[in-house]
């Protein structure tokens, strides 16, 4: 499917973007590990989360959809999942497959896991190594990649794992395996990554503690808890909000409100950066919903200037660099985004694809080591066609750019947007964008 974004003027209106992807995956998985009935409200019904739901069904969890975003789950209890009868295909979902591996490590059966072409390219050793240290057995394709077979154990060994990267997927996989190990499992990461697993597990009755230590950010979990079922309320996804947010900031006289997004401090690096760039962003109606800080975001069109984004901020905005790079193309000066090595192993090599795509649109861009440099403001952008390469955030970033520049941008493979943001084009068009399907 091809979508084409044509240049638009000011954007106006109130919108609500779909539920948070990270919290949606976790709500389904943790509901599956609770004893009894959980309810989920605001679940993201994108392809990634639906792949996790299907995998959990294959493992014996009862999941029913009761209405838009409203789900009911009957959990099997910690270590209560059943051997799946067939291969678990997690599609494009890195969070889905990696967190599930942590859970499966604590079950005494073999699971076969795979995903789409993008997921089968992504590194899995970062997950399988700590799980093997806890006692799971893994047989994987070369480079530790999917498809792989994982044989778990009911008596996992609790470990202390020092993760070389700040990654919530690595941390969560080890903590979820730690649920199945007697005693205390510890994960130390160089910087704190998003803490949704910790918050949700604690709310369900697990003993989880987190603290800054001399070694880094240290999280500990006591194994073998009984997890209480929950009423999960999933806030809107700040990583999805980032697209209408940047579009409204750059498009002249815009005024857009984005309702009910998670403003968890470990997710707000983009807001910090855009404010430093001169963006008029305000939070209103700040509240707490089921353990997550939530607020409405008021955005006004602003003149942006370039900034230097420190590497330490990356964990709090790791998925937002593609759209930040688009904002930087319209900001005065050279924006340097530091320490983006992890972008090379996302749904695509985002560092390379952003640099190539921006250059194709006529933006001055460079990669220096792990840094991305974008110089703006771009003059008249060039018409361009971008291949999304199974990466939803690449697709949406270039559609936003097409709306903000002087020439249309066409995105091939735009169906990948369904991964995280069903209704993206309709939502954007509802506030004044011009995104249409075109036949190839
Ligand atoms: C996620 C963690 C991040 C992020 C991903 C979702 C999560 O990945 O990029 O989209 O839900 O835990 P890493 O853990 O690889 O940093």
Strands 434-438 and 2-6: antiparallel
Atom of ligand 1 nearest to the CA of 22: 11
- Atom 10 of ligand 1: nearest residue by CA position: 319
Neighbours of 85 (CB within 10 A): 7
CA distance 430 to 34: 39
CA distance 48 to 54: 10
> Which of these three, 171, 203, 223, is where a domain ends?
223
- Residue 332's domain comprises 2-19+235-438
Q: Is the CB of 200 under 6 A from ligand 1?
A: no
Tokens (6 digits) for 271: 């807001």
Tell which one of 91, 164, 167 to mutate to probe ligand 1, the residue whose CB is within 8 A of the most ligand atoms.
167
Same domain, 320 and 173: no
Domain membership flag for residue 229: no
Is the Cβ–Cβ distance between 183 and 222 less than 8 Å?
A: yes
Residues 11 and 28 in one domain: no
Domain boundary among 203, 223, 243: 223
Residue 136 lies in a domain: yes
**b/e for 2-27, b at 16 or more Cβ within 10 A?**
bbbbebbeebbeebebbbbbbbbbbb
> For position 178, what pLDDT does the model report?
98
Question: Ligand 1 in contact with 176 (CB < 6 A)?
Answer: no
- Contact criterion met (CB below 8 Å) for 28 and 64: no
pLDDT in tens, 44-88: 999 999 999 999 999 999 999 999 999 999 999 999 999 999 999
For residue 187 and ligand 1, the question of a CB distance below 6 A is answered with no
The predicted pLDDT at position 54 comes to 98
Q: Check if 420 has its Cβ closer than 6 Å to any atom of ligand 1.
A: no
> How far apart, in whole angstroms, are the C-alpha atoms of residue 65 and residue 411?
32
The Cα–Cα gap between 218 and 13 comes to 42
Residue nearest atom 15 in ligand 1 by C-alpha distance:
167
What is residue 155's DSSP assignment?
A: S
pLDDT tens sequence across 315-348: 999 999 999 999 999 999 999 999 999 999 999 9
Q: Is residue 230 part of a domain?
A: no
Q: Which two tokens stand for residue 70?
A: 């409203």
For residue 345, the domain's CATH number is 3.65.10.10
Q: How far apart are CA 270 and CA 194, in angstroms?
A: 14
**What is the per-residue DSSP string for 15-69?**
E-PPBPHHHHHHHHHHHHHSEEEEEEES---SHHHHHHHHHHHHTT-EEEEEETT
291, 171: one domain: no
Judgement on whether residues 275 and 205 belong to the same structural domain of the protein = no
Cα–Cα distance list, 279 to 12, 209, 310, 374, 376 (Å): 16, 35, 18, 17, 15
- Both 256 and 206 in one domain: the answer is no
| 84 occurs within a structural domain | yes
Residue 440 has pLDDT above 90, yes or no: no
Q: Does 319 qualify as catalytic in the annotation? A: yes
Q: Assess whether 125 and 261 both reside in one domain.
A: no
Residue pair 259/209 in contact (Cβ under 8 Å)? The answer is no
Are residues 124 and 31 both part of a single domain? yes
Mutate to test the pocket of ligand 1, among 20, 22, 119 (most ligand atoms within 8 A of CB): 22
Where does a domain end: 199, 223, 247? 223
Between CA 134 and CA 423 the distance in angstroms is 41
Domain count, the chain: 2
CA 162 / ligand 1 centre spacing (Å): 17
Q: Please check whether residue 174 lies inside any domain of the structure.
A: yes
pLDDT of 355 > 90? The answer is yes
Indicate whether 66 belongs to any domain.
yes
Give every CB contact of residue 287 below 8 A, 6+ residues apart in sequence. 293, 294, 295
143 and 271 part of one domain: no
Q: Does 243 lie in the same domain as 189?
A: no
Is 234 a residue whose pLDDT tops 90?
yes
State the number of CA atoms in the 13 A half-sphere of 88 facing the CB. Answer: 30
Q: Same domain for 213 and 318? A: no
Catalytic residue among 195, 319, 349, 370: 319
Give kind and range of the element (H or E) at residue 386.
strand 384-387
Establish if 109 belongs to a structural domain: yes
Residue 296 beta carbon below 6 angstroms from any ligand 1 atom? no
User: How far from chain centre, in Å, is Cα 226?
Assistant: 28
Whether 403 and 378 share a structural domain: yes
Res. 115 pLDDT band, cuts 50 70 90? very high
Pocket test for ligand 1, best of 166, 318, 351 (most atoms within 8 A of CB): 318
Find the 21 Cα to ligand 1 centroid distance in Å: 10
pLDDT at 290 over 90: no
CA of 418 to the centre of ligand 1 (A): 18
Q: Is 380 in the same domain as 253?
A: yes
Task: Give me the mean pLDDT over the 240-262 stretch.
Answer: 98
């Amino acid at each position: 499917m091809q979508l084409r974004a044509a240049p638009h003027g000011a954007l106006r209106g109130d919108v609500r973007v779909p539920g948070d992807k990270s919290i949606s995956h976790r709500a389904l998985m943790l509901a599956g590990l609770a004893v009894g009935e959980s309810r989920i409200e605001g679940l993201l019904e994108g392809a990634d989360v639906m792949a996790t739901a299907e995998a959990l069904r294959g493992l014996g969890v009862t999941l029913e959809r009761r209405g838009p975003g409203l789900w009911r789950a009957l959990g099997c209890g910690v270590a209560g999942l059943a051997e799946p009868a067939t291969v678990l295909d997690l599609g494009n979902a890195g969070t889905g497959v990696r967190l599930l591996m942590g859970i499966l490590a604590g079950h005494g059966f073999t699971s076969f896991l795979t995903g789409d072409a993008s997921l089968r390219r992504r590194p899995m050793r970062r997950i399988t190594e700590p799980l093997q240290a806890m006692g799971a057995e893994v047989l994987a394709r070369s480079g530790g990649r999917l498809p792989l077979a994982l044989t778990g154990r009911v008596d996992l060994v609790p470990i202390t794992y020092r993760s070389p990267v700040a990654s919530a997927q690595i941390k969560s996989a080890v903590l979820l395996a730690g649920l199945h190990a007697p005693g205390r499992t510890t994960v130390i990461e160089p910087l704190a990554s998003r803490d949704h697993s910790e918050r949700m597990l604690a709310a369900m009755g697990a003993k989880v503690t987190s603290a800054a230590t001399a070694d880094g950010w240290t999280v500990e979990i006591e194994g073998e808890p009984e997890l209480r079922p929950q009423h999960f309320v999933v806030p809107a996804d700040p990583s999805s909000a980032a697209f209408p947010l940047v579009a409204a900031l750059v498009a002249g006289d815009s005024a857009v409100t984005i309702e009910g997004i998670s403003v968890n401090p470990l997710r707000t690096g983009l807001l910090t950066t855009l404010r430093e760039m001169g963006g008029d962003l305000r939070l209103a109606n700040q509240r707490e919903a089921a353990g997550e800080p939530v607020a409405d975001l008021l955005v006004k069109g602003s003149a942006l200037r370039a900034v230097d984004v420190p590497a330490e901020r990356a964990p709090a905005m790791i998925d937002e660099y593609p759209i930040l790079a688009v904002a930087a193309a319209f900001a005065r000066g050279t924006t340097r985004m530091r320490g983006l090595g992890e972008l090379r192993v996302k749904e695509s090599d985002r560092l390379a694809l952003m640099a190539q795509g921006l250059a194709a649109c006529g933006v001055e861009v460079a990669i220096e080591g792990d840094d991305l440099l974008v110089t703006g403001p771009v003059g008249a952008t060039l018409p361009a066609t971008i291949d999304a390469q199974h990466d939803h955030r690449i697709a949406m970033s270039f559609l936003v750019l097409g709306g903000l520049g002087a020439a249309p941008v066409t995105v091939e493979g735009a169906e990948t947007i369904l991964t995280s943001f069903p209704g993206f084009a309709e939502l954007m068009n509802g506030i004044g964008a011009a995104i249409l399907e075109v036949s190839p």
